[in-house]
Amino acid sequence: MFEVLVFVYENYWRGDACPEPEQLSRKLSAHGFEADEIRAALQWLDDLSAAMQGLPLERGIDASEVTIGRRASADSVRAPSPDAMRIYSAAEQDHLGAECLGFIHFLEAAGVLSGALREIVIERAMATSEQPMALDELKIILLMVHWSSGIEPDALVLDELCDGREGRIAH
């Protein structure tokens, strides 16, 4: 599934430039992806799109007033306030692992990942079968969340998400 997501990201730089699911499925099939991979990726992208509905993308909007996902108002999940502390469930800790949780925390501390986007990243990561999730796969999810939101990460963040750690020299 992740190979399909990377292909979509690389070929449709903006989420709104992506073709409709049927046409995208045909294009992916023509590029040699397996039907099961395509189906899983399209379902994952559809669920990502649903999660992104109502996300405050403009500055100045109070994120705590916006619900995330398809849930009804009675049991809706509110976007966290900026000073909230996120406590990860045991299932989230097992699924994401220490390396991915540390990377999410790093992005939050750097001011790159808002609480609302973090929740979507976690929800989309939990929707995968990888356990514990590899950091490279989490980075793909982060790229896809930014891609879907229309928010282009700055160059340093994009470099961190796209570049491997191999060959880096610590200063």
pLDDT score recorded for residue 91: 94
CB contact at 8 A, 113 and 82: no
Q: How far apart are CA 114 and CA 91, in angstroms?
A: 22
The predicted model gives 108-120 an average pLDDT of 88
Q: How far apart are CA 52 and CA 36, in angstroms?
A: 24
Q: What is the pTM of this model?
A: 0.76
Q: Which residue has the higher pLDDT, 2 or 155?
A: 2
pLDDT score recorded for residue 71: 36
Residue entry with tokens 């045991």: 90
